[in-house]
A and B are shown apart, each in its own frame.
Chain A
Amino acid sequence: MEQVAHSPTFLGLVLIFVSAAFTDNILLTRFLGMCSCLGVSKKVDTSMGLGAAVIFVTACTAAINFLIYKYLLLPFGLDYLRLITFIIVIAAFTQLIEMIIDRSSPALYNALGIFLPLITVNCAILGISIFMISKPYGFIQTLVYGAGGGFGWFVAITIIGGIREKINEEALPRGLAGSPITLIIIGIMALAFIGFSGMVKI
C-alpha cells in the first residue's frame, strides 16, 4: 500500500463517491453483480430493496476488510489469504446483519430478509473489497468508496428494474424475453454511462 493520495478533505471524499458511483460504475463498467441483477431486477421495488441492502453491506465490509487487510494480513505477510478472508468477513457480516434485523425490526426483515443471503454471493461486494486494496485509500476514503460503489449499483439496478417493468408488458420475439433483452438494455445503459467517463479521475 502506497501513501495516501487524496487527503481526506470533504471535496476529495465527494470525488471518490461520484467516481465510484458513476464513472466507475460497478455494474456497467466492471460487470459485477450481474447475476443477482438479472435475477432480481424485474420490479422497481425489489430492485431498490436489494440495492439499499447492497449499499449498506459494501460500505461496511469494505471498511472492515480494509482494517483487516492493513493491520492484520499485511504486517504478518499473509497477503495471499486475502480472498478467503474477505469472503469470510462478507459471509459472516451478512449473517450477523440478518440476525440483528430479524430481532430488532421484523418489518425491515420482511422487506430485506430475502435479499441478504443473495448478497453473500453478489460479486459486487467482494469486487469492491478486491478493488479497494489496489487503491491508495485511507480508512474514511475506503468507507466512502464502498458506499459510492454500492450506490452506483443501486442506481443501475433501479433504472433497469424500471425499464424491465415496462418491457414485460410487451410481446417479444421468441427467445429474447428474460436475460437476452435485459443484457441488451444494460448494454445501452452502459453506452450512456460511458458519457460520465473522464468527468472525474481517481
Chain B
Amino acid sequence: MAAPKTLFYDGFWKNNPIFVQVLGICSTLAVTNLLANTLFMCFGLVFSTAMSSLTISLLRNYIPDRIRMIVQVLIIATFVMMVDILIKATAPDIHRFIGPYVGLIITNCIIMGRAEAFAMQNPPGASFVDGIAMGLGYSMVLIFIAAIREPLGFGTLLGCKLPALHLWWHQWTIMVMAPGAFFMLGLLSWFARARLIPKGKG
C-alpha cells in the first residue's frame, strides 16, 4: 500500500481528475463564473468524495457485486443530500444559483470513478485520503478557472470590485457565459497536459 503522501500527490496532481482523467467536467464549467459559488461547490465535492469513499471502502466486502452501482449511488446520494441541506441552510442566496448543480454532485463522475476504481479495492484510511486528494485536485482547478472568469466577466473577485477598473478593464461578457467556460477549460487543460503534468499517459 502506498504512503498517504504518495496517494495524495497522485490524486491531487499526477492523476488530477479534471486534467488527466477528464472527470467531473459538468460542474467545473457550470459553477465557475463566480468565485463564491465555486468555493461552496468545492466544499460540497470534497466532503462527499471523501465521505463516500470512506463509507464504500468500509462496506466493500459486504456489497454484492451485481448491485454495486446502485449501492454506491445510494451512499453518494446520502452525502450529497446532507451537503445540499447544509448549503441551503447557511447560504440560501448561493444555493438558489448552484442548487441544481449541488444535486448533480451525485452523478459527478469523480465520485463514482473513485468509488469504483479505488474505494472498492482499498482500506478505508487510504480511500479517505484518496477522496480528499481527488476533491482538492478538482477544487484547485475550479478555483483557478473561477478566479480568471469572474474578474474578466464581472470585474469583481469574490464580489469585491477590483482596483483601477477603468484603466484596463473592459467587460468580457462571453467569459461568464457558456462558451467562455469551454474555452477556458480547453486552453487550461491543453497547457497543463503539454507543460505541467508529468508524463504517464498521453
A83→B182 contact, CB < 8 A: no
The answer to whether B190 touches A176, judged by C-beta atoms less than 8 angstroms apart, is yes
B160 in contact (CB, < 8 A): no
Contact segment of A5-13, A33-41, A48-56, A63-71? A33-41
- The verdict on A29 contacting chain B, using a C-beta distance below 8 Å, is yes
B25 and A194 contact, CB distance less than 8 A: no
Q: How far is A80 from B78 in the complex, measured between Cα atoms in Å?
A: 11
Return the CB mask of B175-189 against A: 1 if under 8 Å, else 0.
001111111011101
Q: Return the contact of B182 from the options A92, A121, A130, A184 (Cβ within 8 A).
A: A184
Q: Tell me which of A183, A190, A191 has the highest count of chain B C-beta atoms within 10 A of its own C-beta.
A: A183
Cβ contact of B103, chosen from A34, A35, A83, A173, cutoff 8 A = A83
Taken together as a complex, chains A and B put the C-alpha atoms of A183 and B18 apart, in Å, by 12
Cβ-based interface call for B100 (8 A): yes
A122 within 8 A of B: yes
Interface size on A, residues (CB 8 A): 48
State whether the Cβ of B133 lies closer than 8 Å to any Cβ in chain A: no
The answer, among B22, B27, B103, B109, for a CB contact under 8 Å with A121, is B109
Contact of A38 among B25, B174, B181 (CB under 8 A): B25
Cβ-based interface call for A131 (8 A): yes
Contacts of A148-202 to chain B: CB distance below 8 A:
173-184, 186-188, 190-191, 194
Given A31-B181, A87-B73, A126-B106, A179 contacting B30 (CB threshold 8 A)? no
- Residue B34 CB within 8 A of the other chain: no
Determine whether B166 belongs to the interface, using a CB cutoff of 8 Å to chain A. Answer: no
The residue that A187 contacts in the complex, of B80, B182, B195, with Cβ under 8 A, is B182
Find out whether the CB atom of B177 lies under 8 angstroms from the CB atom of A84: no
Taking Cβ atoms with an 8 Å cutoff, the residues of B that contact A are 22-27, 29-30, 69-70, 73-74, 77-78, 80-81, 84-85, 100, 103-104, 106-109, 112, 174, 177-183, 185-187, 189-195, 202
Additional A-B contacts beyond A176-B190, A180-B187 (12; CB < 8 A): A33-B26, A35-B24, A38-B22, A83-B103, A84-B74, A87-B77, A121-B73, A123-B104, A126-B107, A127-B26, A191-B179, A194-B179
